[in-house]
Structure 1
Amino acid sequence: MRFDVVTLFPELFAPFLEAGVARRAYASGQIDLKLWNPRDFAEGSYRRVDDRPFGGGPGMVMLAEPLARCLRAIRAERADAASVVLFSPIGAVLNHTAVERWAAGEGAILICGRYEGIDQRFIDAHVDAQISLGDFVLSGGEIAALALLDAVARLQPGVLNDEGSHQADSFNPAVDGLLDCPHYTRPEEWDGLRVPAELLSGHHAQIERWRRDQRLALTARLRPELVEAARQAGALTLQDERYLKEIGP
């Protein structure tokens, strides 16, 4: 799979490729990541990529032409019909289902905007989808691009030490869509706080039931809509429903 990232700050991506478990996806070639700077496709000695907005107002707007030239160069090298994705506050919020879809695909061309935004004509002509990380504004699309790339990379075979570890991740609809349970490690007592006795019992069924109950309780308290979605999907057992009734709303 290949991702081409259009960014004015390609240097932000270098540390990401060399640290953490995600680096394995790039070192192995499972994900081919190429960085493109639109300044390389701008005209004039200043390589200008932005200008003042028509109609006035604060900030600057990224020019359409350097981005279009950059995109043509990417298309010529890729020779495929990869989707063009723009990171934007008005985009669909990224979730686990979307990440799984990207992780199983052929990649995409990611556009990282800056300033007040991008000339709408480029968006109308070339962008296939817009993605947001949530209801807040970033100074550019690079952080959002890194978030998508990291989420996709960790789902590639062999990237995580345990192939099944992502199955218990929060929001995984292939399991039940609930939040993950709390986790503990050594020592058994820290700062006067002990590890729950169930995790020290050595009784695997009891441990799994404790973890399941914790997931149910945490999700019911913080994200009750996910419990309802799991119920509608038939992912809750009778024992799950009894526990939820016991702990109440």
Structure 2
Amino acid sequence: MTIFIITLFPGLFDQLLKTSILGRALNNSLIKVNVVDLKDFSENKRKSVDSPPYGGGPGMVIEALPLLRAVDYSQKQLTEEMPKKKPAKVILMTPQGSLFNQKKAHTLSKENSLIIVCGHYAGVDQRFIDIACDEEISIGDFILTGGEIPAMAILDATARLLPDVLGNPDSVEYDSFSKDNCGMLQGPLYTRPAKVNNFDVPDVLMSGNHGEIQKWRWNQSKNITHERRPELTDENQQC
């Protein structure tokens, strides 16, 4: 998979792309990430890409034309790299988007390429959305200063689902929200030592009885989900 990220602040991604699982995936060519500086597609001397909104109001709006040029550049780069593939899906990170979840991460991980656009300021010109965007995505009902952190979340959540990115593929199967976990939350985890400040590891996990261990974990998962995210229990009654 190849992902282009269009942003006003490309330096924010430097450390992320060097670190941990995502860094190893890039080093092993399991994924390619290209960070595109939106300011490079400004056509004025100040390299600005924002203007006040028509009709008045607070804040500044990112102009449509620099965004369109940046997406066009990214699509052309992808065509050179993968000439027989369809154009990349273009995603705008915005509070007005549909809510991102694990199901969406799995869907995006099946794409050959993505272009993720980081919104900023008061938002982006609607004409860019109408002309070039395939989907608008939000990571939650709160406001951040820009779309960079949400883009990082989507990048990380999607990349870890790609083949060979995680050392143990079973890790994905038993994640919270995963299909194999019936879309519910993961239960509690324990590791060494067996006692911490008079808190012991549950006996069943030390028993070696894998059937009982699996049953215990399943019950813990159901109880935690019912307590903290009851809507997930309702959505997965077949489990």
Q: TM-score with structure 2 length normalisation?
A: 0.93
Indicate the structure (1 or 2) with the bigger Cα radius of gyration: 1
Aligned twin of 2:74 = 74
Aligned twin of 2:109 = 103
Q: Deviations over 1:62-119 (max 9, x none)?
A: 1111111112211222224111100011111111111011112112111101100111
Aligned twin of 1:9 = 9
Is the Cα contact below 8 Å between 1:52 and 1:61 reproduced in 2? yes
The 1-side partners of 2:140 and 2:61 are apart by 22
Q: Deviations over 1:158-208 (max 9, x none)?
A: 222211111110111244111101001111111221111111112211111
Alignment of 1:190-205 (within 5 A): 190-205=196-211
1:126 corresponds to which of 124, 132, 143: 132
The 1-side partners of 2:12 and 2:60 are apart by 22
Q: Give 1:24 deviation, angstroms.
A: 2.3
Q: Deviations over 1:210-243 (max 9, x none)?
A: 1111011111111222222222xx32xxxxxxxx
Q: Which amino acid aligns with 2:141?
A: D
Alignment of 1:23-102 (within 5 A): 23-79=23-79, 80-102=86-108
The 1-side partners of 2:179 and 2:173 are apart by 9
2:22 is equivalent to residue 22 of structure 1: yes
The 1-side partners of 2:129 and 2:210 are apart by 53
Alignment of 1:143-158 (within 5 A): 143-158=149-164
Aligned twin of 1:218 = 224
1:228 corresponds to which of 230, 234, 238: 234
Alignment of 1:162-173 (within 5 A): 162-173=168-179
Is the Cα contact below 8 Å between 1:25 and 1:156 reproduced in 2? no
Q: Which amino acid aligns with 2:7?
A: T
The 2-side partners of 1:175 and 1:193 are apart by 27
Q: TM-score with structure 1 length normalisation?
A: 0.90
Q: Which amino acid aligns with 1:41?
A: F
The 2-side partners of 1:170 and 1:152 are apart by 15
Q: Which amino acid aligns with 2:191?
A: T
The 2-side partners of 1:190 and 1:174 are apart by 31
| 3-state SS in 1 of match to 2:14 | helix
Is the Cα contact below 8 Å between 2:42 and 2:49 reproduced in 1? yes
Q: More deviation in 63-72 or 179-188?
A: 63-72
The 2-side partners of 1:105 and 1:47 are apart by 32
The 2-side partners of 1:153 and 1:76 are apart by 22
Q: Which amino acid aligns with 1:164?
A: D
| 3-state SS in 1 of match to 2:236 | helix
The 2-side partners of 1:203 and 1:222 are apart by 28
Q: What's the C-alpha RMSD, in Å, of the aligned pairs?
A: 1.3
| 3-state SS in 1 of match to 2:115 | strand
Q: 1:175 to 1:190 in 2, by over 3 A?
A: closer
The 1-side partners of 2:95 and 2:43 are apart by 29
| 3-state SS in 2 of match to 1:179 | coil
